[in-house]
Amino acid sequence: MAVGQGASKQLTRFFTEDWLAVVVGLLLVALVLTGLLKSIP
Amino acid sequence: MSDRVLTSSEAVSVSRPEPGKEWAWWSASLLVVVLLTVATWWLNKTVPTWSKQLRVIEFPVYAVLLGLLAGGLLSVLGIKERLGAYFRTEFFLKTGLVLLGATINLAEIVAFGAKGLVQAVIMISSVFFFTWFVARWLGVEEKLRALLAASVAICGVSAAITAAGAVLAKKEQLAYVTGLVILFALPLMFLQPAAAIWLGLSPDVAGAWIGGNIDTTAAVVGAGTIHSQQALKVASIAKLSQNALIGVVAFLLALYWVVVVERKPGQRPSAWEIWERFPKFVLGFILASIVVTLVTSNGWVASSVKRDLGHLREWFFIAAFLSIGFGLSFRGLREAGWRPIGVYTLATAFNTVVALGVALVIFG
C-alpha cells in the first residue's frame, strides 16, 4: 500500500462521526463561551 | 441506510447519484434537514401554548413524526435515498450529547449538598438494577434493556439518548423508549402531586418524591408546579442531581459494553481495543462539562451561556430525532414487542415506591 493511501486510510479511520461529533460539539461550546455565538433561539 | 443509529460507519448514501449531480442532491438534503428542524422547533414552542396537558409532549414526538412523514413522502416520490445524505442520526445525536455535557454544571452537585447526591445515587443505582434484572427476566434484548434502565433511573429522554450512544443501540429502540418515557410522564405529572396532597406530604418530601420519580424534566416542573412553589424547587434540585450523574452512568455503561458485553469468548480485550471501541462522545461530554463548570463557577463567563448551550443542544437533538423518524422501520418497532411496556410499568411502580421511601427518610 502506498504511503499516501495508508495515511488517508488512517485519517478516515480516525475521523469517524464519533470524533467529528466531539470536535464540532467542543467547537460550538468554545464559540458560545467566547460570545461569538449567542442569543440562540 | 444502517438500522443501527450509532455505528460510526453509517452509510451516507445507498445509491450514489451521478458524480456531477452529487453536490446538488447534498445541498437539497441539507436544506430539507434544516427546514424540518426549524418546523419541529416551531411546533415544540407553539403546541404547548395551546394547553397545559400538551406541555409534557417533548420535541422527540414532533421530530419523529415529521421525519416519518418526510421519509414517506420522499419515498413515494422515489428520491428518499438520494435526499437522505444529511439525515445523520449519529452525528447529530453525539454532537447534542457533547452540548448536553456542557449544560451540566458539576459544581451544582456539591451545591445541592449531600442530601441531593445521596438521594440521586440511591435512586439511580436501585432503579437501574431493578429495571435491568426485570428486563432480563422478561427476555428483553440487551441494548433495549440498557436504554430502559437508564431512562427510568435517570432522566428520561436525555438518559435514553446517552445510553443509546454508549451501547450503540438501534434507532427503533431509541424511538420506542422515548415514546414510553413521554407516555408514562403524562399521567404521573397529574397523579403524583395529587397523591402527595392526599398523603399529606410536606412540600420538601413531595418535591423530592416528584423529582426522584418522574423521568422527564418538563413533567417534573409541571408536577412540582401543581403541588407548590417549594415542592417545585426541591423537585427541580432532585432532578438536577440525577441529571448531573448522567455522564458517570454513560461512562460506566460504555465501559461495561466494551469490556463485558462485546467481549469475544475466552478473550480479554486489550487496552487499545477498549480505547478504539469506546464511544468518544463520552470524553467530549465530560470535557465540555468540566470546562463550562470551571469558567462559569469562577465567573470568567456569565452563567447565562448555559441557556444558549441548552438551546443549541435542542437543535441537534431535534435533527437527530428527525433522522430517526426518517429512517424508522416499523419492523424494528414490532420486533421489540410488548415486553418493554411491561418492564417500564414495573420499573415505574418500583421507582414510585422507592422514591417515596427515600424522600421520607432524607427530606422528612
Q: Is the ipTM of this complex over 0.85?
A: no
B123-141 per-position pLDDT tens digit: 999 999 999 999 999 999 9
pTM: 0.77
Q: Name the closest residue on chain B to residue A16, using Cα atoms.
A: B8
- B252-291 tens-digit pLDDT: 998 898 888 887 777 777 777 777 777 888 889 889 999 9
B194 touches chain A (CB under 8 A): no
Q: Give residue A1's pLDDT band: very low, low, confident or very high (50, 70, 90).
A: very low
B10 touches chain A (CB under 8 A): yes
Q: Going by C-beta distance under 8 Å and a sequence separation of 6 or more, which residues neighbour residue B99?
A: A25, A28, A29, B288, B309, B312, B313, B316
State how far residue A10 is from chain B, nearest Cα, in angstroms: 13
**Segment holding A32, helix H or strand E:** helix A17-33
User: Which residues of B are less than 8 Å from A24 in CB distance?
Assistant: 91, 95, 98
Nearest to B303 by CA among B311, B314, B294, B313: B294
Q: How confident is the model at residue B11 (pLDDT cuts 50, 70, 90)?
A: very low
Interatomic CA distance for residues B319 and B40, integer angstroms: 9
Given a contact cutoff of 8 angstroms between Cβ atoms, the answer to whether B182 and B216 are in contact is: yes
The pLDDT of residue B7: 43
Residue B319 confidence (pLDDT):
93
CB within 8 Å: A25 and B99: yes
Contact status of B257 with chain A (Cβ, < 8 Å): no
Instruction: Please report which confidence band the pLDDT of residue B113 belongs to, taking 50, 70 and 90 as the band edges.
Output: low
- Phi, psi dihedral angles at B195 (to 5 degrees): -65, -40
How many inter-chain contacts (A to B, CB under 8 Å) are there?
A: 80
Helix (H, G, I), strand (E, B) or coil at B238: helix
Q: How far is CA A24 from CA B53, B135, B169, B327, in A?
A: 36, 36, 22, 24
CB count within 10 Å of CB B111 equals: 13
Q: For residue B330, count other CB atoms closer than 10 A to its CB.
A: 9
Query: Which pLDDT band, with edges at 50, 70 and 90, does B238 fall under?
Result: confident
Question: H helices of chain B, where?
Answer: 22-46, 59-76, 89-102, 106-111, 113-137, 142-153, 157-167, 171-198, 203-213, 217-227, 229-244, 246-256, 271-277, 281-297, 305-326, 330-336, 339-363
User: Is B90 close to A21, i.e. CB distance below 8 A?
Assistant: yes
B341 shares contact with chain A (CB less than 8 Å):
no
Write the DSSP symbol of residue B50: T
Whether the CB of A21 is below 8 Å from some CB of chain B: the reply is yes
Considering only CB atoms, A21 lies closest to which of B41, B91, B315, namely B91
- Which of A18, A29, A37 minimises the CB distance to B94? A18
In this complex, is the C-beta atom of B287 within 8 Å of any C-beta atom belonging to chain A? yes
Residue B86 contacts residue B29 (beta carbons within 8 Å): yes
How confident is the model at residue B20, as a pLDDT? 65
